[in-house]
Amino acid sequence: MKPKKDKVALVIVDVQKGFLEEAKMIKEKHGHAYLYDRLVQVTIPNIKKLLDFFRENKLPVVHAVIGSYRTDGKDRSPVQSRPGWNYSLQIIGTSSQEEVDELRPLKDEIVVYKTTDSALNGTSLGHILRWMGIEHVVVTGIVTDQCVAGTVRDLADWGFIVYVVEDATAAISQEYHEMELRIINQIYAKVVSTEEIIEDLK
């Protein structure tokens, strides 16, 4: 099924400066280059391409970003506050918490601050999309097997038709990225490319 142009929204998940810097540090200090290189060379350029298309066609855009109101992070969900890979303290208003410059929101675009993996759990995003008459949601961002996947599953449970853009998402490794896409494809979402979505919406 192709997305309906008058019923579609773009959701960008967690493409924030702090995470890009963390990926760069992992590359420089530990020699693990995959995530940073994919973000810079593939994921962010393709999200920008989709963002430009949605803006040019006056289609709704949602920016879902991790953001704590408290500087001690006590407003985060447990999964975001435990030590480990998923640990993240991004305080609203700091440079680290902002989206990367290429994707920063315009005045009319919706920004959802979340302290969970899913962009719907603990936010009003599901209601906002319904109030706007949205039926089809195009999901991009990072990371594929965590916040992207959590958002996709919740969108599907809410009854939205979901499209995950393979070349506008990324995980810590190609293996994790491909594995998660295989799991969610056809069950929770349709996995597509940037060019496919743009062509379907023309």
CATH number at residue 174: 3.40.50.850
Q: Listing from the earlier edge strand, what are the strands of the sheet with 61-66?
A: 110-114, 61-66, 8-13, 136-142, 161-170, 190-192
Percent of the chain surpassing pLDDT 70: 96
Segment 121-137 shows an average pLDDT of 97
How many CB atoms within 10 Å of residue 170? 28
Residue-level pLDDT at 22: 84
**Which stretches within the chain are classed as H helix?**
17-30, 34-38, 44-56, 78-81, 125-131, 149-157, 174-184, 194-201
pLDDT of res. 188: 98
Question: d(Cα 152, Cα 155) in Å, to the nearest integer?
Answer: 5
What mean pLDDT do residues 107-114 have?
95
pLDDT at residue 158, rounded to an integer: 98
Model confidence pLDDT, tens digit, residues 148-193:
999 999 999 999 999 999 999 999 999 999 999 999 998 999 999 9
Q: What pTM did the predictor assign?
A: 0.93
pLDDT of residue 71: 79
Banded model confidence at residue 118, pLDDT cuts 50, 70, 90: very high
Domain ranges, residue 67? 5-201
In terms of pLDDT, which residue wins out, 27 or 41? 41
In this predicted model, which residue has the larger pLDDT, 196 or 32?
196
Residue 172 CA to residue 194 CA, distance in Å, equals 20
* Per-residue pLDDT tens over the stretch 16-26: 998 888 888 88
Residue 94: the pLDDT is 82
* Residue 35 pLDDT exceeds 80: yes
**What one-letter code names the amino acid at 169?**
T
- pLDDT tens across 51-102, in order? 999 999 999 999 999 987 787 777 777 776 666 555 677 777 887 888 999 9
Residue type present at position 70: R
The total domain count for the chain is: 1
